[in-house]
Amino acid sequence: MEKFTTKKLKKLFTSFFLEKQHKQIASASLVPDNDGSVLFTTAGMHPLVPYLLGKSHPEGKRLVDFQKCIRTSDIDEVGDKSHLTFFEMLGSWSLGDYFKNEILEYSFEFLTHKKWLNLPIYKLAVSCFEGDKNSPKDTFSYNKWKTLGIKEENIFYLPAEHNWWALGEVGPCGPDSEMFYITNKAPCGKECSPACSCGRYLEIWNDVFMGYVRHKENGPIVELESKNVDTGMGIERTVCVLNGYDSVYEIDSLKPAITMLEKLSGKKYDENEKVTRAMRIIADHLRATTMILGDEIPTLPSNVGRGYVLRRLIRRSVNFARRLNIDAFALEQVVLWYIDFFKEDYTSLQNNHSMIIEEFKKEIEQFNKTLSYGLKEFEKVKLQSKNMIIDGIAAFRLYDTFGFPMEITKELAHEAGYTVDEKKYHEKFAEHQEKSRASNTQVFKGGLAGTDEIYAKYHTATHLLLACLRKHFGNDINQRGSNITAERLRFDFNINRKLEKHELQLLEDEINKIINQKVDVIMRETSLKEAKESGAVGIFEDKYGDKVFVYSIGDFSKEICGGPHASNTSELGHFKIIKEESCSAGVRRIKAILQ
Q: Does 172 bind ligand SER (CB under 6 A)?
A: no
206 counts as binding ligand SER under rule CB under 6 A: yes
- Our CB check for ligand SER shows the closer of 208 and 519 to be 208
Determine how many CB atoms are found less than 10 A away from the CB of residue 496.
Answer: 8
Q: Does 298 bind ligand SER (CB under 6 A)?
A: no
Question: Judged by CB, which is closer to ligand SER: 59, or 571?
Answer: 59
Among 9, 25, 28, 43, binds ligand SER (CB under 6 A): 43
Cα angle: 185, vertex 188, 189; to 5 degrees: 140
Residues 70-99 that bind ligand SER (CB under 6 A): 91
Residue 293 burial (CB < 10 Å; 0-12/13-18/19+)?
A: buried
From 40-48, 382-390, 475-483, 517-525, span contacting ligand SER (CB under 6 A) = 40-48
Stretch binding ligand SER (CB under 6 A), from 226-234, 330-338, 458-466, 481-489: 226-234
Cα(402)–Cα(378) distance, integer angstroms:
10
Q: Please provide the DSSP assignment of 211-227 as one string.
A: EEEE-STT--EEEEEEE
Tell me the window of 29-37, 42-50, 216-224, 544-552 that interacts with ligand SER (CB under 6 A). 42-50
**Of the candidates 231, 409, 482, 557, which one interacts with ligand SER according to CB under 6 A?**
231
Query: How many chain residues bind ligand SER (CB under 6 A)?
Result: 10
Q: Is 538 in the site for ligand SER (CB under 6 A)?
A: no
CA distance 406 to 426: 10
Whether 334 contacts 260, CB under 8 Å: yes
Minimum CB separation from ligand SER for residue 212, in Å?
13
CB-nearer residue toward ligand SER: 103 or 469: 103
Beta strand residue intervals within 72-187, DSSP E: 86-94, 124-129, 155-158, 164-166, 171-182
CA angle (72 as vertex; 412, 162 as ends), nearest 5: 120
Residue with smaller CB distance to ligand SER, 108 or 493: 108
Nearest residue to ligand SER by CB is 232
Q: Which of 28, 30, 45, 213 binds ligand SER (CB under 6 A)?
A: 45
CB nearer to ligand SER: pick between 126 and 208: 208
Residue 68 and residue 352: Cα distance in Å, rounded? 17
CB 554 within 8 A of CB 447: no
367 binds ligand SER, rule: CB under 6 A: no
Choose, by CB under 6 A, the member of 174, 232, 446, 563 that binds ligand SER: 232
* For ligand SER, the closer CB: 165 or 360: 165
Distance separating alpha carbons of residues 255 and 350, to the nearest angstrom: 22
Question: What length does the chain have?
Answer: 595
> Min. distance of Cβ 10 from ligand SER in angstroms?
15
Which CA distances in Å does 575 have to 274, 514, 563, 581?
Answer: 44, 10, 19, 18
Q: What track of x and - describes contact with ligand SER for positions 150 through 169 (by CB under 6 A)?
A: ---------------x----
Q: DSSP H helical segments within 244-327, as ranges?
A: 255-265, 273-293, 305-323
346 contacts ligand SER (rule: CB under 6 A): no
Q: What's the closest the beta carbon of residue 165 comes to ligand SER, in angstroms?
A: 5
Q: Which is nearer to ligand SER, 87 or 396 (CB)?
A: 87
Using rule CB under 6 A, residue 32 touches ligand SER: no
The rounded distance, in Å, linking the Cα atoms of 406 and 409 is 5
**DSSP assignment of 537-552:** B-S-GGG--SEEEEEE
How far apart CA 41 and CA 403 sit, in angstroms, is 27
As measured in angstroms, the least distance from the Cβ of 87 to ligand SER is 10
> To the nearest whole angstrom, how small is the minimum distance from the Cβ of residue 397 to ligand SER?
40
Reference 175, options 135, 143, 230; nearest CA is 135
Of 240, 268, 234, nearest to 71 by C-alpha is 234
β-pairing, 547-553 vs 557-560, is antiparallel
Rounded to whole angstroms, what are the CA distances from 268 to 246, 261, 279, 415? 17, 9, 10, 21
Q: Which of 44, 392, 450, 538 binds ligand SER (CB under 6 A)?
A: 44
Residue 296 sits in the site that holds ligand SER (CB under 6 A): no
Which residue, 43 or 413, is less far from ligand SER as judged by CB? 43
Question: Least CB distance from residue 328 to ligand SER, whole Å?
Answer: 34
Choice between 91 and 392, CB closer to ligand SER: 91
The values of phi and psi at residue 576, to 5°, are -140, 130
Residue 206 or 552: the one with the smaller Cβ distance to ligand SER is 206
| Residues found near ligand SER in the complex (CB under 6 A) | 43-45, 91, 165, 206, 208, 230-232
